[in-house]
Amino acid sequence: MIPTITAFERSPDRGKGLSRDMRVRWALEEVGQPYEVRLVSFDAMKEPAHRALHPFGQIPTYEEGALSLFESGAIVFHIAERHAGRGLLPDDAHARARAITWMFAALSTVEPPILDLATARILESDKPWYEQRLPVVQDRVRDRLGELSRRLGDADWLDGAFSAGDLMMVAVLLRLKPSGMLDEYPNLSAYVARGEARPAYRRAFDAQLAVFTGKPPTGR
Ligand code: GTB
């Protein structure tokens, strides 16, 4: 059964891989699962047909036969479980539980301050208090990056072999790339670069970029 995911018809990031369908595409590529993509406009996302799949009127969604899912974390977890033994979740029960812990850490501990920073920049830069608030928000991001950097140390991945925990953490950190903040933590920059260098990441990136450019992926 070929799953279908949804993605922006026209992504605001112009195909830079920052929308959340990217992490789902990446997971599907890692496990070698072909997939189809249904592109949706901002208006269509708020229509009842899409809300039946996603109560908050967002992308990505995932449909596979009678199963339909929303939330990128839940979707990546489902893909990792459904394709056990394909490298996203370790076989060892404890290592697997730790990989899942890192997925949650990425989404519930590291992503919120990063989103807060993105929201401040996009929606609040015209507010009179913006210049005062920005350093506070940036410091919250730096707190998390410092802690993550210390835990990663000189390891390649967060807990042994690459896992869905790394996929989610790299996907979350990528949002910071344009800010330059990642460069303050050379081991985190290198960690993100290792994720981006994975062939599965490249294929996923090319596929989402092709939506924006209208040109077929290069098939690297
Ligand atoms: N918690 C949900 C998940 O992880 O799946 C969040 C889903 C979500 O925020 N989806 C966004 C969406 O559908 C797209 S990814 N927004 C439309 C809406 O809410 O009406 C967020 C996103 C958008 C744009 C950029 N960008 O341009 O850089 C990056 C990320």
Q: Ligand 1 pocket, 23 CB below 6 A?
A: no
Is pTM beyond 0.85? Reply is: yes
Question: 216 falls in which pLDDT band (50, 70, 90)?
Answer: confident
Please state, in angstroms and rounded to a whole number, the distance separating the CA atoms of residues 211 and 219: 14
pLDDT at residue 20 greater than cutoff 60: yes
* Beta-ladder partners of 39: 7
Model confidence over 46-92: pLDDT tens digits? 999 999 999 999 999 999 999 999 999 999 999 999 999 999 999 99
C-alpha 119: how far from chain center: 17
Among 21, 25, 59, 61, the mutation site with the greatest number of ligand 1 atoms within 8 A of its Cβ is 59
Q: How far is the CA of 39 from the centre of ligand 1 (A)?
A: 14
Token pair of 95 as six digits: 């290592």
103: which residues sit within 8 A by CB, 6+ positions away?
73, 76, 77, 164, 165, 168
Provide mean pLDDT across the span 176-204. 97
pLDDT at residue 219 greater than cutoff 80: no
CB-side neighbour CA atoms (13 Å) of 38: 19
Q: Ligand 1 pocket, 163 CB below 6 A?
A: no
Please state, in angstroms and rounded to a whole number, the distance separating the CA atoms of residues 171 and 102: 12
Question: 220 falls in which pLDDT band (50, 70, 90)?
Answer: low
Model confidence over 143-188: pLDDT tens digits? 999 999 999 999 999 999 999 999 999 999 999 998 899 999 999 9
Q: Ligand 1 pocket, 7 CB below 6 A?
A: no
Provide mean pLDDT across the span 28-40. 98
Atom of ligand 1 nearest to the CA of 21: 15
Q: At 69, give phi and psi (nearest 5°).
A: -130, 155
Atom of ligand 1 nearest to the CA of 12: 27
